[in-house]
Chains A and B, each alone.
Chain A
Amino acid sequence: MHHLVIDRWSRGSSPLHQRDPRAKLAALLVFLIVLSTTRPAAQAAFAGYAVLLFLAANLAGLPIGGLIGRAALVLPFSATFALLTWWSGDSLRALSLAEKSFLSGMAALLLVGTTPLTGWTAALESWRVPRMLILVIQFVYRYLFVIAEQAQRMRWAALCRGSHKGSKTGSFRLAAGLVGVLFARSWQRADGIYHAMLARGFRGRFVPAAPVPFRSSDAVFFFTCLAGCLAVRILL
């Protein structure tokens, strides 16, 4: 399951993992702003951004293949808009749309792959992002695991009863049924988890177990990222 892997990645001890989540979040924001304002014609700049991300992934000790595979999950969504743009005759803009969404996905993955959930949500909180939005992020993240586990169990149960032997129409009907049941079961399970959290004093906020102080090295990290992004944006 993807987010289980990311959870494991986020518990590393590389120099990037040790940076303050606020510094990493600020660097991500800078990267996204610079990336989104890059002209479609500046294809060398996109290559430059990719190099920056690969360097960071290497520094963090994250597997490049795993990162690319997971970042590619955003492509089906952006591809729809890219195709529409392509058909309207602007192929360069279409390409840049796909590149921007992929690189944005990579950058966001780098943040969550080097920062535990409690760390980056605490950083959002320190930036006065509305508590409700942070809670939604935290619960979606937690419940993804629940839903994925339920889906896997139901798939196994279906396979055990010979679901792989049916026709395509039958498979589609089965999948539709599974999604419905999955929703109901996940809701029940999520409700149980929420009860368990309340029973242990949850008051609408995940308290980070090991808050990291903001150090001068975090500031140096942020300004290095800022300089790198601007250099690529301006020079390439």
Chain B
Amino acid sequence: MSRAIQIQGLRYRYPDGTQALDGIDFHLDAGESVALFGANGSGKTTFVLHLNGLLRGEGAIEICGLPLADATLEQIRSKVGVVFQDSDEQLFMPTVLEDVAFGPLNLGLSPDDALTRARTVLKRVGMAHALERAPYHLSAGEKKRVAIAGVLAMDPEILVLDEPTTFLDPPTRRDLLTLLRSLPQSKVVVTHDANLARALTTRAVFFDQGKIAGEGEVIEVIQRFHWEYS
């Protein structure tokens, strides 16, 4: 099986001196889904921001066989779609349709093709009724769907989901889970939600103070690190 992500010795220090990542080795196979667990501030979000070059630390990162470098940044950003924790940060265009078309337009698609793709993806995530609505007037669940549509419209090979179920009520979580399970992409899911990880991923990696403290099957990692509050 080919590797979607291969990372060796990743280190990153924030300008204030905080060592956020300290020698991370990580891999993700094509088609695989992995959960990233860990306490707040353990380095999970910093880690995923490296996957499409938003942060650049020391170490070797390969995405779908491409080494992460200035020359490959555009290609890599089209392969790795990041769905951020706070949908409000991801939805910045005046209408839902324009927001979802933002990525395809940046990829160089013609306006007609970009809008067609945006409509198709919005239909797929169940938001075809909201094309002309302002994103900031949607509910939290709808915003998350539009944010996912905005990433899917770029046709990525890898989906990175940072706390996808935050702010969502149980029925909306269930709908979102159904949607995510229907997507064929490889997935990296940053989450505190053990139920989501069990339902969506097969492997889990546990972060602790910028290092990987353990990895394995999801249930095994949950039990080993007591990652459930009940």
Taking beta carbons and an 8 Å cutoff, which residues of A are in contact with B?
4, 7-8, 10-11, 116-118, 142, 145, 149, 189, 192-193, 195-203, 207-211
Q: Known contacts A11-B95, A196-B89, A196-B92; is A201 also within 8 Å of B101 by CB?
A: no
Q: Known contacts A208-B111, A209-B111, A209-B115; is A196 also within 8 Å of B90 by CB?
A: yes
Q: Would you call the interface of chain B mostly helix, strand, loop, or mixed?
A: helix
| 26 sample A-B contacts, Cβ–Cβ < 8 Å, listed by A number | A8-B134, A117-B94, A189-B89, A193-B89, A195-B49, A195-B89, A196-B82, A196-B89, A197-B92, A197-B102, A198-B77, A199-B52, A199-B54, A199-B80, A200-B77, A200-B151, A201-B78, A201-B103, A201-B107, A202-B102, A202-B106, A203-B106, A208-B111, A209-B111, A210-B111, A211-B111
List B contacts of A198 (CB < 8 A): 54, 77
Tell me the count of chain B residues lying within 8 A, CB to CB, of chain A.
33
Q: Would you call the interface of chain A mostly helix, strand, loop, or mixed?
A: helix
List A contacts of B150 (CB < 8 A): 200
Q: Known contacts A7-B94, A198-B77, A199-B54; is A192 also within 8 Å of B89 by CB?
A: yes
Q: Known contacts A7-B94, A117-B94, A201-B154; is A196 also within 8 Å of B106 by CB?
A: no
Whether, in the assembled complex, B74 has its beta carbon less than 8 Å from a beta carbon of chain A, the answer is yes
Besides A118-B98, A198-B54, 10 more A-B contacts (Cβ < 8 Å) are A4-B134, A4-B136, A116-B94, A117-B94, A197-B102, A198-B77, A199-B82, A201-B107, A202-B106, A203-B106
In the complex, A209→B154 CA distance in Å?
15
Judging by beta carbons under 8 Å apart, are B92 and A142 in contact?
Answer: yes
Whether, in the assembled complex, B86 has its beta carbon less than 8 Å from a beta carbon of chain A, the answer is yes
Closest chain B CB from A7 CB (angstroms): 5
Whether, in the assembled complex, B12 has its beta carbon less than 8 Å from a beta carbon of chain A, the answer is no
In the complex, A4→B94 CA distance in Å?
9
